[in-house]
Structure 1
Amino acid sequence: MSSIAKRANGKWRARYRDDSGRQHARHFARKVDAQRWLDEVTAAVVTGQYVDPKAGRITFREYAEHWRQAQVHRITSQAHIEGMLRRHAYPTFGDRQISTILPSEVQAWVRLLGTSDKRAKRRALAPETISVIHSVVSAIMRSAVRDRKIIANPCEGTRLPSKDRKPVIPLTTEQVDHLRELMPPELQALVTFTAGTGMRQGEVFGLTVDRIDFLRREVRVDRQLLTRLGRRTEFGPPKTPASVRTIPLPQVVVDALAAHLAEHPAGEHGLVFTLARAPITRQAFGHVWRPVARAVGLEPGTGMHALRHYYASLLIRFGESVKTVQVRLGHASAAETLDTYSHLWPDSDDRTRAAVDSVLGRAAADRLTRTLDV
């Protein structure tokens, strides 16, 4: 039901009632503009794209929190998303009505995330981090479109900073040894174990004695220790189904584990590695790892994952196939392994030269020998 009427002040009032009976009205200087607006509303209703103008008055923070609570995310993802929204999205958009956020403002926000400001004590985020944050906000906006809170997603068309993916440069054995020496006594074996198995941080923190077979010299990876909001820890599934695997243990790792458990008996739930006899959280470990990494001379931001890269580099150096490295690391596909480590495999140029020389070179040598005999 709609109508257009001229007001005493000369304006044209266009109004309509939605399916719930609520009235919506706007005023225009010209009747033709009022009619165009009503036509647009009618078309939106007919095509199923109608959005109640009042629906978008909900704040971005309020809608995002409803969205976040409804998602089926891994425990680690839940904490990660909550942190990204709280630190990087809510300060800019949190108190804004979701329908008022414009694409140009999203673009300006993305640029701000990549800009340092010493006065505000803000460091520029890496392009990869900005991309992840933007994807979360965009997912929230897409949900708002489906819920008929807004007409369109203001994150669509945002130009993101280009990603400069640096090739992995593995640690040296000397650096790994130095890291071990500088770690607290109860975490020294953790360095050897991670460098000798390539397990992920959560997998190492969640290692329990019953997952280690000292006789067969292997470790079973089928869960990890997760840190919930509030720094509570609990066991959870590994990163992907491909992460469930059995890894052979080198003797140096077996010896390090045996010595560690003799000096530091397993903690709660049989955990092999603990910090102050408590399960290790990512935050607590970061406080220990960062000063040690600086002392060793590692680049800022280098985490425990560097030990996983070291393990991969050893396998590649000693001739293991892409498939073997994939399985040992628990990658979902060989493509993921190659994307990360392809530059570490021996270059084929020398093998090409050797192959040709072994055939043509031998023939040339035979011709030379026959010439000299004549």
Structure 2
Amino acid sequence: MKGHVEDRWWRKKKVDGKLVYTDTGRPVREKTDLFGKGDRYKVRYYDPDGKEKSKSFPDKELTRAKAFLTKMQHDVLSNEYVDPKAGELPFRAYTHEWRKGQSTDASTRQTVTSHLDNGIFPFLGDKSLRAVEKTETIRDWLDWMERPRSEGGRGLAASYRAVLFDMVSAILEAAWVDQRIRSNPCKTKSIKRPKPEQRKIVPWRESQVYQVKLALPAPQQVVVPLVAGLGLRQMEIFGFSPDDVDRGEMVANIQRQIRWIGNTPVFAPPKGGKTRLVPIGAGVLEEIDAHLASFEPVTVTLPWLEPGGRPVTARLLIRKPEGLQRLGARAASGMISGPEYNLAVWKPAFAAAGLNYIPRRDGMHGMRHFYASVALASGVSVKELAEYLGHHDPGYTLRIYTHLVPSSHRRAREAADEIFKPRRTGAARPENPKTA
């Protein structure tokens, strides 16, 4: 493969176009007009397309210049060539290009922007791709995310660090495909993805469900059967319409939620774009009908998916509580915002019920876990539960609720007894088996 190292400070002397030699037969060298100016050595080589490339090195670094030339020649021959200048692009600038090929959903774009601004760009944004490609850079970034703010870090939870790690890995994987870096450091054995904490779900007690329901303002009490009886997410509740109920089939069609794009509310499909049918019990339907007898649905028209999207109209079961009208810019829209609802309605209900509110356990999502625990205890399969909850994968549902799945030991023993029938009555039967 062609290529050479040029000495810009010295050249072979010529007289009348012929080289001049010393008495020992070596070419005589003379200074060039560039002597002492800038880098001394220039490596000239050719990329796989035959285009000449170059890289300069300072005085006294001839060995490094030769090593670079050898490496470039090897990379071209082995199809591993990456233009060294391609890695000079700042990580932030490349990410801007990467995002052009990602989801066009406004909510997803908003989430990606938040992740980048909060946990990625402050540390990696101004570094070059070549710098971010180094494993030590990724290690330093992981340490910075985990360190408390008091120690100059971000103090982020392991689950959020894992999300950010996956995003950076995806960006660097694209940079590798685009031949801007030689490898993705996030996939090396020496770099470990943050491991989210495995918290064991503790479902609410049935009495707690009723206590909170009675403590809520009357127009809001129906949210409890919608979560504890249908397993809806918070923003699916606020986007729920009585028209979504098929009374003949006794199912609820969960087909929309409210999302916020900045301070603008929009209608959108449920999380993951996955609509679903959920069996609705007669008691839950009675709760909805009782609510309708006292409170008229509110007809709302919102853009679909993003501001400026096609208008969609729905009769929503739950009106915006009056207390939210004085809480922030989002409240002025006339629609319900989750954080504001929690502050103005949900947490005060806990206090009114005499209950101690524990973050990450006692939010509205806690009643969704209650719904899951009741369903599993009643014999609903994990696959069916995943469909009712709108999970993307039954395996995900099983990982969350595996400790709540009723033991099948008793059923397995009875099945075996049908084949190998016991000859003695009550043989080998524990008096009070925990797994019965």
TM-score range, shorter chain: 0.7 to 0.9
> Which letter maps to 2:320?
L
Is the alpha carbon distance of 1:84 and 1:185 closer, same or farther for their aligned partners in structure 2, counting shifts above 3 Å? farther
Cα-to-partner distance string for 1:124-159 (whole Å, 9 max, x where unaligned): 333222111101011111112222332332333322
Gaps of 5+ in 2: 11-35, 301-312, 322-332, 429-436
Q: Larger deviation: 205-214 or 131-140? A: 205-214
Match of 1:140 among 155, 171, 184: 171
> Which letter maps to 1:220?
N
2:367 corresponds to which residue? 307
Match of 1:109 among 130, 138, 141: 141
Percent pairwise identity:
28
Gaps of 5+ in 1: 366-374
1:172 corresponds to which residue? 205
CA contact (8 A) 2:297 2:318 kept: no
User: Secondary structure in 1 aligned to 2:6?
Assistant: strand
CA contact (8 A) 1:51 1:151 kept: yes
CA separation in 1, counterparts of 2:83 and 2:405?
58
2:335 corresponds to which residue? 279
CA separation in 2, counterparts of 1:323 and 1:68?
34
User: Secondary structure in 2 aligned to 1:70?
Assistant: coil
1:371 corresponds to which residue? none
1:320 corresponds to which residue? 380
State how 1:9-20 maps to structure 2 within 5 Å.
Answer: 12-16=41-45
CA separation in 2, counterparts of 1:290 and 1:117?
30
> Which letter maps to 2:43?
A
* 1:194 CA displacement: 1.2
CA contact (8 A) 1:195 1:310 kept: yes
TM-score (norm 2): 0.71
Match of 2:270 among 231, 235, 238: 238
> Which letter maps to 2:145?
L
* 1:308 CA displacement: 1.5
Cα-to-partner distance string for 1:262-297 (whole Å, 9 max, x where unaligned): 325224132223435833344444544773587443
* Aligned Cα root-mean-square deviation (Å): 3.4
CA separation in 1, counterparts of 2:230 and 2:282?
11
CA separation in 1, counterparts of 2:139 and 2:350?
35
Cα-to-partner distance string for 1:341-371 (whole Å, 9 max, x where unaligned): 2221222445567787x93551769xxxxxx
CA contact (8 A) 1:57 1:97 kept: yes
Q: Larger deviation: 346-355 or 52-61? A: 346-355
Is the alpha carbon distance of 1:266 and 1:300 closer, same or farther for their aligned partners in structure 2, counting shifts above 3 Å? same
* 1:48 CA displacement: 4.0
* 1:174 CA displacement: 2.4
Cα-to-partner distance string for 1:83-137 (whole Å, 9 max, x where unaligned): 11111111111222222223212112212222323476x7633322211110101
Is the alpha carbon distance of 1:79 and 1:289 closer, same or farther for their aligned partners in structure 2, counting shifts above 3 Å? farther
> Which letter maps to 1:124?
G
Match of 1:346 among 398, 406, 415: 406
Greater CA radius of gyration, 1 or 2?
2
Cα-to-partner distance string for 1:26-85 (whole Å, 9 max, x where unaligned): 346364542321121123334443333333333222222332242026554333222111
Q: Which has the higher strand share?
A: 2
User: Secondary structure in 2 aligned to 1:137?
Assistant: helix
State how 1:15-164 maps to structure 2 within 5 Å.
Answer: 15-16=44-45, 23-27=54-58, 29=60, 31-72=62-103, 74-101=105-132, 102-118=134-150, 124-157=155-188, 158-164=191-197
Q: Larger deviation: 161-170 or 45-54? A: 45-54
CA contact (8 A) 2:226 2:284 kept: yes
* 1:166 CA displacement: 2.0
1:266 corresponds to which residue? 298
CA separation in 2, counterparts of 1:294 and 1:113?
33
The answer on 1:251 being equivalent to 2:251 is no
Is the alpha carbon distance of 1:244 and 1:12 closer, same or farther for their aligned partners in structure 2, counting shifts above 3 Å? closer
* 1:332 CA displacement: 4.1
User: Secondary structure in 2 aligned to 1:312?
Assistant: helix
> Which letter maps to 1:279?
M
> Which letter maps to 1:87?
N
* 1:217 CA displacement: 4.0
User: Secondary structure in 2 aligned to 1:226?
Assistant: strand
1:206 corresponds to which residue? 239
CA contact (8 A) 1:194 1:308 kept: yes
2:222 corresponds to which residue? 189
